[in-house]
């Protein structure tokens, strides 16, 4: 695109073709970031995985076939059933449609222990949107249907097995996902608030406040985290309810988690403060508030989003670790950590390895979030690659 | 006097601390600067990196706060605003009158704002225009700098360096300023684009009755555009003179060195070996005693090493120099420098 | 001066013959960054490649050292390098990381850059870095290498060379750093020195010193020098011959005095009238800049690259690429104005007679 030099329009001049300039020039920085992000295959797949996790967490009651507390002593440590789709009748004809097999119980004469085997004879057909006990979605919307379940009521359904009280592991995992992911999210939001405010002041105004904040951050970051969490978690009053406990743990995690975000924010502020366009805005006469909100924040928004995404897995892992050690969330609250606590005993593990399923889920979720965060960070850096 | 801007005894000292508990070092970026900018003129400030020319520009617009001294602005006869001592809030109305154009057109435009918003921003901040009026002013200002109307919704990254600089100029002009400080405004541009922008600046000056402070290291450009030149070295003004007088016969040895070093785009005026050019600019932190230039000056005498020369008119003319021997030295100018043998 | 006549000259060191450089990228069409460039470098002489950003001057220089990224290739042309042992190597056919190429790079051809900090290691002293260069290419022990290093540093005008050899790059000023890099480039007495905007980041007084230094070193070492710059003042100061590049084409080339005295390509003429002249205000002329800005190489016309901005463009310009037309013995340009009898008349150009007789030097190179 050639400029129009109003002073020199003396001779006609062939203008270069504009090409797709008009389109590309109108693309905003966010659109460009998104376009770069989409080129990052792994991050894109991870984005969908993370979205799926949060949808499951949000609608846990609907996705889980049972309430996490529903126990059935008849099915203690029942093994995974697995969902079958085709059944071959005796006459050779096929019946289509998902079903699970029933269980046969035998007593192991040597160990004097109940042993479950899959009973191929008994079939419980499955259906989508089956009727269930009434429940409240989000605690307010009355619902009477679940995503899936056995068509006949009260048939055993343990897709990935049962725990020591005969509770459905899948339902517990889905409800645990809600708690664990929400701890990550709430914790990161709290960290973000602390981090952006403290880091922002630190970076924009500098001086003694900046020094003080930086020394504090260095001090906090030099503390060994696990013992500190243990100490703080152990200091929580015993008589607190599970809900209070939940919030206390979130706050503890974010009290330590803000440091990383504060550093990112401060770093961006320091870098941007000397940028000419920020000086230009100041010289326009813009107030500090306008300079920050209109001119600085958009420039590091994408960095913040990336840093935030990368901070969530840390929170989740911390919660999982604390709960696993018995110091975080307490039963009856179900989280990935409390679920894994069930898998602490080596003998239980030997007979019921499906109790490790939450571990697999943790790994998948954490990896997906990390890849997503990496992808966002790369996309946010216009000078990368 | 019709001075639009008057700078008196302006000093800017940066203090730096080496390490967390280290000693503080103070760097005098500007030492006792006195100068006046007449209404309607183009005053060039020249010098090499570290001479303080950018710091001076930033102190005038209060992007930096001067350590001591005064910057006074006279919007109309009989009215004097002391910019250097105003609190930031009271400075705001005067920011409309004194605007700045930056060197790097890549970094001086907010990459997240569209051209329309970039240029409208100053109007919005000063609550000067809204709605259709705002739009009209933005479009007409952009047209004046040669940016077509269909560019309004684009982002700065879609423009070439020269076009971005035009947008930067539009941002400066939209508030109808009296004084524009152009800090190396054409240095980052290619030669042909630089010429476009220089022409544009000249035309705008004529159209709007602007006054320019043109900060540059390029003496060729300065000779072309400036009415008066101030030469700075290590935070001092060493010479100040009408452009032609300075290029005809410099009165300070440093000016001679600068002119001598300037390559001229004509091989028949090739300079050849310049043995007298020696040494490098000393570090600001250990500025020499006496005349700041004596360590590199080929005319230096004992007096120069001990006594600091003041900036004074040479032979009672408008040409001022800070050199003990300004009247007697036979310094060579740039207009008809003799051709030298090529070694 | 045409390449044919150069070839007969035994001082010829390097000849670029119709070299094109193409960059490919996975999701866009290939871009021909440099198109059919040819020039000759002679011992003891300096050729300046001048042009605005994006014209391909740096790419051309880097191609000689095969320093381009993996996505660049040389689809046509030869780079004939004759360092004087009677053998001629075609650099364009060598693999960038082959032994043969490495023995040329840094040894027979050296390069200096705009920003010395990017080519000097920040964690080694400059002495150690120059020592290593010498040890790598020459048969000397450590002590001998250091003696040579100090000699080199003195040669490039580093004061207190013995002490400065133990300094790290960040402890030196920009000018001294550039001198140290020049010393390193000279460590193996190269036949050719490529200088890519070596003074652009420097102050004007330091620039003058470095230009003086390069000029005297070129004579002292009998090197050829390829000097890349955007500054016509610097070209006038240092070059013997100048090649003007625009959008990947060398549009005009010739003896520096001739090109500056009587530029024959509209682009060169426009560049010359874009720089403010060092004249008194009475003689001042308003600058006459080129309109618009350089188009992207993607949108380069198939004919003359300058067509879109040329004030004299006429019918064949957009579609037919003009060949090089000699306008005097040491000077040629690629422009239809110089060959086409139908072309508009332009003052100052050596154009064909109206009757259509070719001018004196036409056919020299077509």
Predicted pLDDT at A21: 39
Chain B residues contacting A, CB < 8 Å? 61, 63, 91-92, 95-96, 99-100, 102-104, 107-112, 121-122, 125-126, 143-144, 146-148, 150-151, 153-155, 157-160, 162-163, 166, 168, 171, 196, 199-200, 203
Beta bridge partners of B214: B44, B182
Which candidate from C298, C299, C309 shows the least CB-CB separation from A13? C309
Share of residues in chain B with pLDDT > 90 (%): 56
Same domain, A272 and A182: yes
* Neighbors of chain B by Cβ distance (3+ pairs < 8 Å): A, C
Predicted pLDDT at B22: 61
Distance CA C276, CA A92 (A): 96
Predicted pLDDT at B20: 56
Per-residue pLDDT tens over the stretch B214-248: 999 999 999 999 999 999 998 999 999 999 999 99
Distance CA B44, CA B216 (A): 7
C220 touches chain B (CB under 8 A): no
Distance CA C57, CA C64 (A): 11
| A30 alpha carbon, distance to own chain's centre | 23
Contact C260 B267 (CB under 8 A): yes
Are C223 and C193 spatial neighbours (Cβ–Cβ below 8 Å)?
yes
Which candidate from C288, C289, C308 shows the least CB-CB separation from A15? C308
Residue C199 CB coordination number (10 Å)? 25
Residue A334 lies in a domain: yes
Nearest to C104 by CA among C118, C119, C86, C90: C90
Distance CA B182, CA B161 (A): 16
- The domains of chain B are located at 236-321
Residue in B with minimal Cα distance to C260? B266
User: Mutate which of C295, C296, C300 to test chain A, going by most A C-beta atoms within 10 A?
Assistant: C295
Same domain, A222 and A94: no
Say how many CA atoms lie within 13 Å of C294 toward its Cβ.
22
B295 touches chain C (CB under 8 A): no
This prediction has a pTM of: 0.81
Residue B314 confidence class, pLDDT cut points 50, 70, 90: very high
Nearest to A84 by CA among A67, A61, A102, A69: A102
Which candidate from A2, A17, A19 shows the least CB-CB separation from C291? A2
Q: Before B223, cis peptide (omega within 30)?
A: no
What is the maximum alpha-carbon separation in chain C?
Answer: 73
Residue A298 lies in a domain: yes
Are B310 and B289 spatial neighbours (Cβ–Cβ below 8 Å)?
no
Total domains in chain A come to 2
Distance CA B311, CA B304 (A): 14
Residue A353 lies in a domain: yes
Share of residues in chain A with pLDDT > 90 (%): 10
Same domain, A306 and A372: yes
Pairing of strands C109-112, C324-328: unpaired
Same domain, A275 and A191: yes
Per-residue pLDDT tens over the stretch C270-299: 999 899 988 888 888 888 888 877 888 888
pLDDT at residue A171 above 70?
Answer: yes
With beta carbons under 8 A apart, name residues in chain A contacting B166.
3
B219 touches chain C (CB under 8 A): yes
Contact B162 C232 (CB under 8 A): no
Tokens of A78: 């029942």
Same domain, A351 and A243: yes
Q: Which of A164-173, B270-279, B298-307 has the largest mean confidence?
A: B298-307
Return residues 294-323 of C near B (CB < 8 Å): 294
Of A133, A157, A181, the last residue of a domain is A157
Return residues 131-160 of C near B (CB < 8 Å): none
Per-residue pLDDT tens over the stretch B49-78: 888 899 999 999 999 899 999 999 998 888
Predicted pLDDT at B309: 93
Distance CA C148, CA A305 (A): 55
Pairing of strands A113-128, A94-108: antiparallel
Residue in A with minimal Cα distance to C297? A16
Per-residue pLDDT tens over the stretch B257-266: 999 888 888 8
Q: What is the DSSP track for C124-157?
A: S-HHHHHHHHHHHHS---HHHHHHHHHHHHHHTT
Mean pLDDT, to the nearest integer, of B118-128?
93
Contact A25 B107 (CB under 8 A): no
CA distance A277 to chain B (A): 4
A8 touches chain C (CB under 8 A): yes
Which candidate from B196, B219, B267 shows the least CB-CB separation from C236? B267
- H-assigned helices in chain C: 3-8, 57-64, 99-104, 116-119, 126-137, 142-155, 161-164, 174-186, 204-221, 232-238, 256-261, 266-272
Distance CA B113, CA B317 (A): 50
Predicted pLDDT at B284: 67
Residue in A with minimal Cα distance to C298? A19
Contact C292 A3 (CB under 8 A): yes
Same domain, A146 and A186: no
Q: Which domain holds residue A258?
A: 44-60+171-380
A244: domain CATH number?
1.10.3720.10
Distance CA B144, CA A324 (A): 69
Say how many CA atoms lie within 13 Å of C307 toward its Cβ.
19
Residue A35 lies in a domain: no
Residue A33 lies in a domain: no
Q: Which helix (H) or strand (E) holds A104?
A: strand A94-108
Distance CA C43, CA A156 (A): 92
pLDDT at residue A62 above 60?
Answer: yes
Predicted pLDDT at A260: 84
Same domain, A255 and A207: yes
Nearest to C115 by CA among C58, C155, C64: C58
Per-residue pLDDT tens over the stretch A103-148: 888 877 777 777 788 877 778 888 888 888 888 887 788 888 888 8
Residue B156 CB coordination number (10 Å)? 23
Tokens of B282: 């000393």
A15 touches chain C (CB under 8 A): yes
B38: burial class by Cβ within 10 Å (0-12, 13-18, 19+)?
Answer: middle
Distance CA A128, CA B140 (A): 64
CA distance C264 to chain A (A): 20
Same domain, A257 and A364: yes
ipTM of this predicted complex?
Answer: 0.86
- DSSP state letter for C82: -
B18/B117: higher pLDDT: B117
Which candidate from C209, C230, C260 shows the least CB-CB separation from B266? C260
Residue A111 CB coordination number (10 Å)? 9
Contact A2 C307 (CB under 8 A): no
Which candidate from B48, B192, B199 shows the least CB-CB separation from C204? B48
Instruction: Give the C-alpha distances (Å, rounded to integers) separating C300 from A29, B119, B338, C31, C32.
Output: 28, 32, 43, 10, 9
What phi, psi does C250 have (nearest 5°)? -85, 110
Are A18 and C293 spatial neighbours (Cβ–Cβ below 8 Å)?
no
CA distance A9 to chain C (A): 9
Residue in A with minimal Cα distance to B110? A277
Residue C103 CB coordination number (10 Å)? 12
Same domain, A100 and A243: no
Same domain, A346 and A294: yes
Same domain, A177 and A295: yes
Predicted pLDDT at B233: 92
Predicted pLDDT at B135: 92
| B10 alpha carbon, distance to own chain's centre | 15
Are C41 and C242 spatial neighbours (Cβ–Cβ below 8 Å)?
no
Mean pLDDT, to the nearest integer, of A243-270?
84
Distance CA C80, CA C199 (A): 28
Q: Before A332, cis peptide (omega within 30)?
A: yes
Residue C99 CB coordination number (10 Å)? 9
What phi, psi does C251 have (nearest 5°)? -90, -25
pLDDT at residue A384 above 60?
Answer: no
- DSSP state letter for A295: I
With beta carbons under 8 A apart, name residues in chain C contacting B265.
232-233, 235-236, 260, 272, 275, 277
With beta carbons under 8 A apart, name residues in chain C contacting A3.
291-293
Same domain, A111 and A216: no
CA distance A211 to chain C (A): 27
Mean pLDDT, to the nearest integer, of B286-290?
78
Mean pLDDT, to the nearest integer, of B22-38?
86
CA distance B269 to chain C (A): 8
pLDDT at residue A67 above 50?
Answer: yes
Distance CA B189, CA B105 (A): 9
Mean pLDDT by 10 residues, chain C (366 residues): 46 90 82 89 93 88 89 90 84 88 87 82 90 85 91 86 88 85 88 91 85 90 93 92 93 94 92 89 86 81 90 90 89 91 84 58 44
Instruction: Give the C-alpha distances (Å, rounded to integers) separating A36 from A89, A92, A238.
Output: 54, 54, 50
C253 touches chain A (CB under 8 A): no
Residue in A with minimal Cα distance to B163? A3
Predicted pLDDT at B7: 94
Name the average pLDDT for chain B: 88
Which candidate from B122, B148, B203 shows the least CB-CB separation from A7? B203
Which candidate from B110, B112, B146 shows the least CB-CB separation from A4? B146
| C272 alpha carbon, distance to own chain's centre | 18
Are B166 and B134 spatial neighbours (Cβ–Cβ below 8 Å)?
no
Distance CA C210, CA B202 (A): 34
């Amino acid at each position: 695109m050639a400029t129009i030099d109003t002073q020199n329009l003396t001779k006609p001049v062939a203008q270069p073709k504009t090409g797709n300039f008009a389109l590309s020039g109108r693309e905003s920085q966010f659109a460009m970031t998104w376009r770069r992000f989409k080129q990052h295959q792994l991050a894109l797949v991870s984005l969908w995985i993370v979205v799926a996790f949060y949808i499951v967490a949000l609608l846990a009651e609907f996705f889980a076939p049972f309430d996490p507390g529903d126990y059935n002593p008849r099915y203690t440590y029942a093994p995974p059933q697995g969902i079958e789709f085709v059944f071959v009748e005796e006459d050779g004809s096929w019946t289509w449609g998902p079903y699970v097999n029933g269980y046969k119980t035998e007593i192991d004469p040597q160990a004097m222990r109940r042993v479950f085997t899959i009973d191929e004879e008994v079939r419980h057909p499955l259906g989508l949107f089956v009727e269930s006990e009434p429940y409240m979605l989000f605690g307010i919307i009355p619902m009477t249907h679940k995503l899936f379940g056995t068509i006949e009521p009260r048939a055993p359904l343990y897709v990935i097995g049962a725990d020591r009280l005969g509770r459905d592991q899948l339902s517990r995992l889905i409800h645990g996902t809600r708690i664990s992911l929400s701890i990550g999210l709430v914790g990161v939001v709290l960290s973000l608030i602390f981090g952006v405010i403290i880091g922002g002041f630190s970076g924009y105004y500098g001086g003694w406040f900046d020094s003080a904040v930086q020394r504090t951050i260095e001090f906090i970051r030099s503390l060994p985290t696990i013992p500190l969490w243990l100490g703080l978690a152990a200091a929580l009053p015993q008589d607190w309810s599970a809900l209070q406990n939940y919030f206390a743990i979130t706050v503890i995690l974010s009290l330590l988690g803000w440091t990383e975000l504060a550093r990112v924010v401060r770093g961006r502020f320091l870098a941007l403060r000397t940028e000419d366009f920020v000086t230009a805005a100041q010289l326009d006469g813009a107030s500090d508030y306008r300079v920050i909100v209109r001119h600085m924040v958009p420039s590091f928004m994408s960095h913040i989003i990336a840093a935030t995404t990368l901070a969530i897995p840390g929170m989740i892992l911390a919660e999982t670790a604390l709960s696993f050690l018995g110091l975080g969330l307490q039963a009856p609250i179900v989280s990935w950590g409390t679920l894994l606590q069930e898998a602490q005993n080596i003998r239980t593990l030997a007979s019921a390895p499906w109790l490790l399923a939450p571990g697999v889920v943790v790994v998948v979720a954490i990896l997906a979030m990390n890849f997503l965060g990496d992808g966002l960070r790369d996309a946010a850096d216009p000078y990368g690659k | 006097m019709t001075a639009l801007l008057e700078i008196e005894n302006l000093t800017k000292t940066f203090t730096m601390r080496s390490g967390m508990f280290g000693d503080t070092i103070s760097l005098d970026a500007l030492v006792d600067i006195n100068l006046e900018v007449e209404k309607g003129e183009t005053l060039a400030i020249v010098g090499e990196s570290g001479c303080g020319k950018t710091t001076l520009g930033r102190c005038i617009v209060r992007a930096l706060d001067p350590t001591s001294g005064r910057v006074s602005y006279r919007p109309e006869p009989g009215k004097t605003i002391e910019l250097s001592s105003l609190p930031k809030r009271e400075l705001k109305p005067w920011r409309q009158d004194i605007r700045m154009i930056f060197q790097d057109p890549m970094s001086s435009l907010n990459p997240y704002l569209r051209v329309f918003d970039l240029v409208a921003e100053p109007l919005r901040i000063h609550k000067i225009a809204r709605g259709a009026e705002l739009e009209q002013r933005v479009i007409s200002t952009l047209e004046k700098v040669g940016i077509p109307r269909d560019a309004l919704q684009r982002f700065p990254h879609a423009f070439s360096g020269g076009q971005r600089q035009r947008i930067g100029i539009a941002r400066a002009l939209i508030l109808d300023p009296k004084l524009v400080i152009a800090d190396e405004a054409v240095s980052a541009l290619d030669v042909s684009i630089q010429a476009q922008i220089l022409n544009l600046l000249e035309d705008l000056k004529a159209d709007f009755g602007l006054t320019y402070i043109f900060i540059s290291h390029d003496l060729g450009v300065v000779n072309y555009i400036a009415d008066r030149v101030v030469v700075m070295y290590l935070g001092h003004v060493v010479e100040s003179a009408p452009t032609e007088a300075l290029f005809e016969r410099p009165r300070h040895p440093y000016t001679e060195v600068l002119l001598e070093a300037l390559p001229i785009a004509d091989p028949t005026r090739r300079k050849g070996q310049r043995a007298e050019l020696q040494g490098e600019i000393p570090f600001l932190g250990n500025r020499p005693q006496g005349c700041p230039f004596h360590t590199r000056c080929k005319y230096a005498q004992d007096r120069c090493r001990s006594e600091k020369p003041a900036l004074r008119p040479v032979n009672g003319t408008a040409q001022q120099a800070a050199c003990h021997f300004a009247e007697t030295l036979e310094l060579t100018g740039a207009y008809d420098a003799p051709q030298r043998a090529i070694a | 001066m045409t390449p044919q006549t150069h070839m007969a000259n035994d001082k010829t060191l390097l000849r670029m013959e119709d070299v094109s450089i193409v960059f490919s990228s996975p999701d866009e069409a290939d871009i021909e960054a440099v198109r059919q460039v040819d020039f000759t470098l002679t011992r003891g002489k300096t050729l300046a490649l001048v042009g605005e950003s994006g014209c391909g001057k740096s790419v051309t220089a880097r191609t000689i050292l095969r320093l381009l990224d993996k996505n660049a290739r040389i689809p046509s042309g030869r780079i004939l390098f004759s360092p004087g042992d009677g053998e001629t190597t075609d650099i364009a056919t060598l693999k960038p990381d082959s032994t043969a190429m490495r023995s040329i790079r840094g040894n027979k051809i050296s390069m200096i850059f705009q920003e010395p900090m990017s080519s000097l290691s920040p964690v080694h002293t400059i002495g150690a870095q120059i020592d290593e260069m010498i040890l790598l290419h020459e048969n000397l022990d450590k002590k001998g290498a250091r003696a040579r290093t100090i000699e080199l540093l003195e040669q490039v005008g580093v004061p207190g060379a013995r002490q400065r050899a133990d300094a790290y790059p960040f402890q030196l000023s920009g000018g001294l750093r550039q001198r140290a890099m020049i010393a390193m480039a000279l460590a193996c007495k190269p036949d050719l020195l490529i200088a890519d905007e070596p003074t652009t980041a420097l102050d004007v007084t330091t620039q003058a010193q470095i230009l003086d230094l390069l000029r005297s070193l070129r004579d002292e070492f009998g090197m050829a020098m390829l000097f890349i710059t955007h500054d016509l003042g610097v070209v006038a100061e240092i070059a013997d011959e100048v090649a003007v590049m625009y959008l990947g084409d060398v549009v005009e080339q010739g003896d520096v005095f001739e090109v500056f005295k009587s530029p024959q390509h509209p682009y060169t003429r426009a560049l010359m009238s874009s720089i403010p002249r060092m004249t008194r205000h009475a003689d001042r002329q308003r600058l006459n800049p080129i309109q618009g800005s350089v188009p992207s190489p993607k949108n380069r016309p198939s004919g003359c690259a300058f067509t879109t901005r040329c004030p004299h463009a006429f019918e064949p310009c957009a579609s037919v690429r003009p060949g090089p037309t000699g306008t005097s013995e040491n000077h040629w340009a690629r422009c239809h104005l110089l060959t086409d009898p139908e072309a508009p008349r332009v003052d100052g150009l050596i154009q064909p007679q109206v009757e259509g007789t070719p001018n004196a030097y036409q056919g020299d190179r077509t």
